[in-house]
Amino acid sequence: MTCSDDQTPQATDTASAAQHAPPMSGIRVLDLGSFIAAPFAAAIFGEFGAEVIKVEAPKAGDPLRRFGTPTERGDTLCWLSEARNKKSLTLDLRTREGREILLGLARQSDVLCENFRPGTLEKWGLGPKDLLHTNPNIVILRISGYGQTGPRKDLPGFARIAHAYAGLAHLTGMPDGPPLTPGSTSLADYMSGLYGAIGVLMALRVREQVGGQVIDLALYEPILRALDDIAATYVKDGTIRGRLGAGTSNACPHGHFQTADGKWIAVACSNDKVFARFTKAMGRPDLLTSHSHVAERLADSEHIDGIVAQWFSARSVAEALSDCEEADVPCAPVNTIADILADPHIAARRNLTRMEAASVGTCMVPNVMPALSKTPGRLERLGPELGEATFEILTERLGLDAATYAELAKAGIV
């Protein structure tokens, strides 16, 4: 698979980048996870130079291969994007031979990522005690629905469940409507992958002093961490925040408004100074007489939002954006993916990139982020075919000969 256009993020100093190895170069990661959470953490390391070995069950592989839009190759576009820069190794971890191979690879690795239910790796003789006995310096990332401890630890979890359990679904939707999924059904997976990657980086930072360690992350925890002050507010005065639609409890006007041509614009008047500038853009300086402070606007939010909605409804999206931008009011169009692909700023930042995949053709995928000026990440290839690197890894890394490999393959272990 090859790149069909420049994948280097906007902020990269390409001259300096050519002189430095990627920041995760020399790090080897074993990715035992499925779907998105732990594998996303591993993918981040792969984007910045780590060797990522994706361990999959023989024949079936990661269920993510069948999640989303199918490709001509038999896997999906989601797999091609999310399994980027990885090498696929098929291995039956439930067998003695598979266990020994995995421990052999762990002995040579720096990080292991997994998101099985708690107790699964222990049942196979591959729990943290076994892995750390084999390699005292390995960092183990464990992501599960509810974490490795607590009364719910054995229950299954997916992102939608995490959104509900951590309170995000309760906050999403219109005030008189049902709780909704907040946009991407996989948000908790991606957020857990990010928090997991941060945990791994911190563990690697102190590895020389403390050795390897285990990172225990529940899928719902990053969602709970990102819910502003709802816990503090409830404990202070008993307020249970409900669904606010496009608005918020902390600012006004702060929402989505429809324009004359049927488009939508997001506006964020996060403080009184921004609102003062917005009143000039709208030609309504009179609003500052009685609504100059956020508390006054929140108490009369229906009236203020009605004035703002009427102003937007008389302008095209281009006119409204121009007026807001000229007044230095934070705003943006509510983009569809078609709008995003046509947006000149996103193109200038190279946030999306095209890559060629064998038997599939050109694919558009999110680019690497963040942009590092001297040691940028890079996409080398999209998601691998099942088991395509198994022979290479077992013979080159573990020294297995061709005959032994053939025996393992015949027995369905690889």
Q: Which residues are catalytic?
A: 189
Give dist(CA 71, CA 365) in Å, integer. Answer: 14
On the 0-12 / 13-18 / 19+ scale of CB atoms within 10 A, 344 is exposed
* CA dist., res. 99 & res. 55, Å (int): 12
Q: List C-alpha distances in Å: 46 to 41, 207, 374.
A: 9, 20, 17
**The one-letter amino acid at 278:** F
Amino acid letter, 103: L
**Whole-number Å distance between alpha carbons of 334 and 336:** 7
Q: Are 219 and 188 in contact (CB under 8 A)?
A: yes
Tokens representing residue 51 in the block = 């060797």
- Round to whole Å and give the CA distance between 143 and 46: 18
Name the CA radius of gyration of the chain, rounded: 25
Which residue is listed with tokens 């053939």? 406
Rounded CA gap, 81 and 39, in Å? Answer: 12
Contact 249, 241 (CB under 8 A): yes
Return all residues near 383 (Cβ < 8 A) that are at least 6 apart. 65, 75, 79, 80, 81, 82, 83, 84, 86
Report which of 110, 242, 238 is spatially closest to residue 176, judged by C-alpha positions: 242
Task: Please list, in sequence order, all residues whose beta carbon lies within 8 angstroms of the beta carbon of residue 120, skipping any fewer than 6 positions away.
Answer: none
Q: How many helices (H) and strands (E) does the chain have?
A: 21, 12
